[in-house]
Structure 1
């Protein structure tokens, strides 16, 4: 068993005003299955890059390991998968086949071109490569983005059975709960370690935050009292000084006063008051330095405008196919105002195809009946949104959004204000996802269609969306693979079964 030791780690990007890590310290065993969590932009991927010595930093990181990062860069996706993997790492064919079997993946996948594999298949073969040789310490960054519910369970079972340690970044709470035995949380430029899975972390973090909130309230009251006392002493000091000059002027008018005595007394009074002020300011600074940075989650807003239609969708015996190949067995369902219906099923089972059909974008064949109102204001979160471009001002004008509401939700989702000046196409994938989501929230709508809304969003964003949906109760149709999210917000779930 070896350790990774981080001492006094300090790091920040040149274009950002604040440090991501400030004198952070951490020790952990390489046998641990460590879940790395934190808000988007807080430095999860940056920390993985620092461990790989890809970024310059101040401090020390001590270890005797070779790291292997997921997802590994692919040079030529047109090659057969076997040769793609061999360009990344040396292995014997039987070794990669062994790992694929443990993932319930047919080893024949190695002899297909990598670019023809589904997102879930690509994820699994790259994960298998991580665990061929235990000389490497795996750094697994967002493995669940392209996996359906069944795929996530398969990968979770695979990782649970590994005796080897790793660090995994994932925003799927159920997945993290299943696979980790420790949680590393990036909290306001510091690293906090918790023993246990995500549920244990949540409970311990809640207790810690409640205690710190109570301490903060006490400190804030003390700070307010000290400020008031300091202000009163300063005012008293000024009034005494004014008395000195007022009485001296009275002497000039014929009154008899010992101005020397008055001056000496005023000087002593001023000295005492300044000393009190100084002590007050010292105490104030000490109290303010103790105030903790609690992770506040601001509530989002949604421009939900329910109409007079009580039933928005009736689907009877719907079947879709491409070139005569059916996607799923026929389904029927209804969607009334306030319902939140989730479509579930394996990758490729036709969930997004139903959405495209409802939006008149499906290019295959369909049968069955769909009844809905002629006019229906729909707000759509797309799975692919790479065509969002331009500045945020240009984008909101093009989309006809309330610009202030759009920006407010972006900021509440955790986007820093200095990013507001960037063009959308220059933003990270997480930031671009927030633009797509904030657009949907700002649009006036009576029906929301969201296709995999949680991809690239952190756990705090997911909680924001849960709170918003449960509060507003909009009419929605969703495709999402995060079971914990669906269990909280969906009123009905329709599984699609492959034909």
Structure 2
């Protein structure tokens, strides 16, 4: 067991409020620790601090060699093993194969080009490479992204049986509940460390939030009452002053003394009320809330938007989907389901006309249909203003969507490539929601999004019912929004 001791940690990105402010933590390398928190709260930043990649104030004491997931891909056109040899040259092939076998994954994937692997297959390769290195303490940043339901079950079982500890971030509650024994949560103004899994933490949080809401309601009533009293006192003082000015025949000395006395008393009372109001405002507690999202769905008179007949996709030596047929109509929210590697993302590439493998069958997309795509892989750079200009987005509407997703105004000046993965995903989704469209292709939209944002998307789709094809593995999301499921 090796401790990870954090003393008086303070960190902020330039021009932004601190993500960590005089924080103290004492963690153990034996723990299977879930690192939780909303997007942009500093989960990945904490990982970078532990790896000594960022300058910070305070102390981090740990005699551990930290390994980070996801691993860097050197050349996606090269074989998987060649990439592993570049990023982890001390790792033996048999060690990686051993870990792949524990995940019920075919080691033959090592001899395919990286670009031919699905996101889930790449995830298993990266995890196997990381855990094959016995001298590393793993920091796992959203490994459930890109994993199908079967893959998540396999990875959960794999991590559950590990004798060593690790720190993991994920927004899949069911997945975390199976593997973690401690939770560290970055809330709005504090770090919460608890023994137990995600459900245990969230149960306690609901109790805290309920108490905070009740307390806030009482405090707001008191503040309203105090401000009302304050207004009444000011009116009394103003009437006394008015009486002094307008009563020309009365005893000026008496009225003046009375007015002065009233004004002095008013100032004292006003100061006392201001102090009471300020004290109560200081007791108000932040509770996580969300607002409804909007979508720039354009009307269409078309009933049938997409028709696919006997579609087969493959790469040389690697078959994907075959004989696929279905129709997408103007009121459909169709979930494309299937294990990793069956060609779900390739289907989207084929619909958009940029699939690079072998293709047969028919894809008939209605002409002049405005299609908006959310991609799994995106590499945005530059400022939000430059991004909006490039995609011809209304800048004010674009920023408004990002605010609804919970992004802070101070992060709007951060280059997109320096944002957290959750913030970058919000940029990708906000683009799709703002641009005018009649049909939506969303490839794993929930990746990197916290549960609050996931609920926002569910409510939006349930309310507007835009025509969509969606690839997603989260069963709760599928149950809530799908009108039809296509299994590949």
- Bin for the TM-score computed over the shorter chain: 0.7 to 0.9
Query: Could you say which residue in structure 1 is the equivalent of 2:348?
Result: 355
Query: Could you say which residue in structure 2 is the equivalent of 1:50?
Result: 49
Does structure 1 residue 415 correspond to structure 2 residue 414?
Answer: no
Q: Which has the larger radius of gyration?
A: 1
Does structure 1 residue 494 correspond to structure 2 residue 460?
Answer: no
**What's the CA shift string for 1:276-309, capped at 9, x where partnerless?**
2222111111100011111121211012234333
Counterpart among 467, 471, 477 of residue 479 in structure 1: 471
Query: Could you say which residue in structure 2 is the equivalent of 1:167?
Result: 167
Query: Could you say which residue in structure 2 is the equivalent of 1:184?
Result: 184
- For residues 71 and 353 of structure 1, the distance between their equivalents in structure 2, rounded to whole angstroms, comes to 22
In structure 2, the residue corresponding to 1:218 is in which secondary structure? helix
Change (3 A) 1:133 1:393: closer
**What displacement does 1:35 show?**
1.6
Change (3 A) 1:364 1:54: closer
Does structure 1 residue 436 correspond to structure 2 residue 428?
Answer: yes
Change (3 A) 1:472 1:321: same
**What displacement does 1:341 show?**
1.2
In structure 2, the residue corresponding to 1:143 is in which secondary structure? coil
**What displacement does 1:135 show?**
6.1
More off after superposition, 280-289 vs 22-31: 22-31
**What displacement does 1:412 show?**
1.5
Query: Could you say which residue in structure 1 is the equivalent of 2:11?
Result: 11
**What displacement does 1:418 show?**
4.0
Equivalences for 1:76-475 in 2 at 5 Å? 81=81, 84=84, 88=88, 95-107=95-107, 119-132=119-132, 136-244=136-244, 250=249, 257=251, 259=253, 262=255, 264-322=257-315, 326-371=319-364, 373-386=366-379, 392-393=384-385, 395-421=387-413, 429-475=421-467
Query: Could you say which residue in structure 2 is the equivalent of 1:68?
Result: 67
**What displacement does 1:379 show?**
1.9
**What's the CA shift string for 1:446-474, capped at 9, x where partnerless?**
32111222333333322221111112111
- For residues 242 and 437 of structure 2, the distance between their equivalents in structure 1, rounded to whole angstroms, comes to 65
TM-score of the two chains, using structure 1 as the length reference: 0.83
TM-score of the two chains, using structure 2 as the length reference: 0.85
- For residues 270 and 109 of structure 1, the distance between their equivalents in structure 2, rounded to whole angstroms, comes to 84
Query: Could you say which residue in structure 2 is the equivalent of 1:35?
Result: 34
- For residues 133 and 372 of structure 1, the distance between their equivalents in structure 2, rounded to whole angstroms, comes to 48
For the 8 Å contact 2:290–2:406, the answer to whether it is kept is no
**What's the CA shift string for 1:38-82, capped at 9, x where partnerless?**
222211111222333443434455556443332345778869838
- For residues 468 and 434 of structure 2, the distance between their equivalents in structure 1, rounded to whole angstroms, comes to 15
- For residues 229 and 133 of structure 1, the distance between their equivalents in structure 2, rounded to whole angstroms, comes to 68
**What displacement does 1:433 show?**
3.1
**What's the CA shift string for 1:98-132, capped at 9, x where partnerless?**
43332224456667787886654443344234445
Q: CA RMSD in A?
A: 3.5
- For residues 263 and 19 of structure 1, the distance between their equivalents in structure 2, rounded to whole angstroms, comes to 53
Unaligned runs of 5+ in 1: none
Unaligned runs of 5+ in 2: none
For the 8 Å contact 2:79–2:110, the answer to whether it is kept is no
How many residue pairs match? The answer is 487
- For residues 432 and 329 of structure 1, the distance between their equivalents in structure 2, rounded to whole angstroms, comes to 33
Change (3 A) 1:484 1:102: same
- For residues 376 and 272 of structure 1, the distance between their equivalents in structure 2, rounded to whole angstroms, comes to 71
